[in-house]
Amino acid sequence: MAVNFGYSISTTRVINFDNCDFNLLHQLEEIVPSYKRCLNCGACTATCSAQQFTKFNIRKIKSLFTSAQYDKLAKELDKCMLCGKCTLVCPRGINLRPAIMNMRKILSNK
Residues that bind ligand SF4 (CB under 6 A): 38-44, 48-50, 58-59, 80-86, 89-92, 94, 96-97, 100
**3-state secondary structure string across 66-93:** HCCCCCCHHHHHCCCCCCCHHHHHCCCC
Assess 45 for contact with other proteins (CB under 8 A): yes
Assess 47 for contact with other proteins (CB under 8 A): yes
Assess 84 for contact with other proteins (CB under 8 A): no
Query: What whole-number distance in Å separates Cα of residue 54 and Cα of residue 42?
Result: 16
Assess 51 for contact with other proteins (CB under 8 A): yes
Rounded least distance, CB 61 to ligand SF4, Å: 8
